[in-house]
Chain A
Amino acid sequence: MTAGRIRFWAQPVAVLLIVGGVLAWVFGGELTATEKSTLNATSLLTALRDHLAMTVVVTAIVVVVAVPAGIVATRPWARFLAPVFLAVANVGQAAPALGVLVLWFLITGASGGLWVAALPLAFYSLLPVLRNTIVGIQQVDPSLVDAGRGIGMSASGVLWRVEFPLATPLILAGLRTSLVLAVGTATFGLFVNAGGFGLLIDTGYKLSLTKVLVTGSALAAGLALLVDWAGAVIEQRFGPKGVV
Chain B
Amino acid sequence: MAEKGIEIRLDHVTKRYAGQKAAAVDDFSMVVPAGEIVVFVGPSGCGKTTTMRMINRLIEPTSGTITIGGEDALRIDPDDLRRRVGYAIQQAGLFPHFTVAQNIGIVPGLLGWAKKKTSDRVDEMMDLVGLDPGEFAGRFPRQLSGGQQQRVGVARALAADPPVLLMDEPFGAVDPITRGHLQDELLRLQNELHKTIVFVTHDFDEAVKLGDRIAVLGDRSTILQYDTPDAILANPADDTVAGFVGAGASLKALTLMRVRDVELGQAVTARSDAAPSTVDLGDEKWLLVLDQRDRPSRWVQLNELRRVTSLAGAGRPVQDSVTLQSTLRDALEAIVNEGGRAVVTGGRGEYVGTVDLATVTDVVQQRRANS
A residues near B (Cβ < 8 Å) are: 143-144, 146-154, 157, 161-162, 165-166, 240-244
Per-position 1/0 for B103-126, Cβ under 8 A of A:
000110010000000000000000
B87 touches A151 (CB 8 A): yes
A147 touches B99 (CB 8 A): no
| B window 126-159: CB within 8 A of A | 140-142, 156-157
Per-position 1/0 for B69-92, Cβ under 8 A of A:
000000000011111101101111
B96 within 8 A of A: yes
A151-B107, A165-B97 as given contacts; A146 in contact with B89, CB under 8 Å: yes
- A241–B92 CA distance with the chains assembled, in angstroms: 19
- Selected from B80, B81, B83, B89, the residue in CB contact (under 8 A) with A147 is B89
A149-B82, A151-B157, A153-B106 as given contacts; A243 in contact with B87, CB under 8 Å: no
In the assembled complex, which residues on chain B have CB atoms less than 8 Å from the CB atom of A161?
Answer: 95
B156 touches A151 (CB 8 A): yes
B58 within 8 A of A: yes
- Selected from A146, A154, A166, A243, the residue in CB contact (under 8 A) with B93 is A146
B95 touches A144 (CB 8 A): yes
A150 touches B82 (CB 8 A): yes
A143-B91, A241-B140 as given contacts; A152 in contact with B96, CB under 8 Å: no
- Selected from B94, B97, B110, B141, the residue in CB contact (under 8 A) with A152 is B110
A152 touches B89 (CB 8 A): no
A143 touches B79 (CB 8 A): no
B93 touches A152 (CB 8 A): no
A151 touches B142 (CB 8 A): no
- A242–B98 CA distance with the chains assembled, in angstroms: 7
In the assembled complex, which residues on chain A have CB atoms less than 8 Å from the CB atom of B90?
Answer: 143
In the assembled complex, which residues on chain B have CB atoms less than 8 Å from the CB atom of A146?
Answer: 58, 89, 93
B152 CB, nearest partner CB in chain A, Å: 12
B residues near A (Cβ < 8 Å) are: 56, 58, 79-84, 86-87, 89-99, 106-107, 110, 140-142, 156-157, 166
Closest to A158 in B: B95
- Selected from B89, B96, B107, B157, the residue in CB contact (under 8 A) with A243 is B96
A150 touches B96 (CB 8 A): no
B89 touches A166 (CB 8 A): no
In the assembled complex, which residues on chain A have CB atoms less than 8 Å from the CB atom of B166?
Answer: 150
In the assembled complex, which residues on chain A have CB atoms less than 8 Å from the CB atom of B97?
Answer: 165-166, 240-243
In the assembled complex, which residues on chain A have CB atoms less than 8 Å from the CB atom of B81?
Answer: 152
- Selected from A147, A152, A242, the residue in CB contact (under 8 A) with B79 is A152
A242 touches B89 (CB 8 A): no
A143 touches B110 (CB 8 A): no
B30 CB, nearest partner CB in chain A, Å: 21
In the assembled complex, which residues on chain A have CB atoms less than 8 Å from the CB atom of B106?
Answer: 151, 153
- A148–B95 CA distance with the chains assembled, in angstroms: 9
B93 touches A242 (CB 8 A): no
Candidate in A151, A153, A161, A166 with the most chain B CB atoms within 10 angstroms: A151
A56 CB, nearest partner CB in chain B, Å: 29
- A166–B83 CA distance with the chains assembled, in angstroms: 23
- A72–B157 CA distance with the chains assembled, in angstroms: 30
B99 touches A242 (CB 8 A): yes
A162 touches B95 (CB 8 A): yes
- A157–B82 CA distance with the chains assembled, in angstroms: 14
- A244–B140 CA distance with the chains assembled, in angstroms: 10
A150-B58, A152-B83, A153-B106 as given contacts; A243 in contact with B91, CB under 8 Å: no
Closest to A143 in B: B93
A144 CB, nearest partner CB in chain B, Å: 6
A154 touches B79 (CB 8 A): yes
A166-B97, A241-B97, A242-B140 as given contacts; A150 in contact with B89, CB under 8 Å: yes
A150 touches B142 (CB 8 A): no
- A27–B58 CA distance with the chains assembled, in angstroms: 70
B93 touches A144 (CB 8 A): yes
- Selected from A151, A242, A243, the residue in CB contact (under 8 A) with B83 is A151
B82 touches A152 (CB 8 A): yes
- A147–B80 CA distance with the chains assembled, in angstroms: 15
- A129–B354 CA distance with the chains assembled, in angstroms: 72
B114 CB, nearest partner CB in chain A, Å: 18
In the assembled complex, which residues on chain A have CB atoms less than 8 Å from the CB atom of B86?
Answer: 151
- A157–B111 CA distance with the chains assembled, in angstroms: 13
B56 touches A150 (CB 8 A): yes
With A143-B89, A240-B97 known, 16 other A-B pairs at CB within 8 A are A143-B90, A147-B89, A147-B93, A147-B95, A150-B87, A150-B89, A150-B93, A151-B110, A151-B157, A152-B79, A152-B107, A166-B96, A241-B140, A242-B140, A242-B142, A243-B97
Candidate in B79, B81, B94, B166 with the most chain A CB atoms within 10 angstroms: B79
Closest to A153 in B: B110
Closest to B139 in A: A242
Closest to B166 in A: A150
- A149–B60 CA distance with the chains assembled, in angstroms: 13
Closest to B94 in A: A147
**List of 9 A-B pairs having minimum Cβ-Cβ separation, nearest first:** A147-B93, A242-B140, A152-B83, A152-B82, A240-B97, A150-B87, A242-B97, A243-B96, A143-B93
In the assembled complex, which residues on chain A have CB atoms less than 8 Å from the CB atom of B142?
Answer: 242-244
Closest to A145 in B: B93
A147 CB, nearest partner CB in chain B, Å: 3
B168 CB, nearest partner CB in chain A, Å: 9
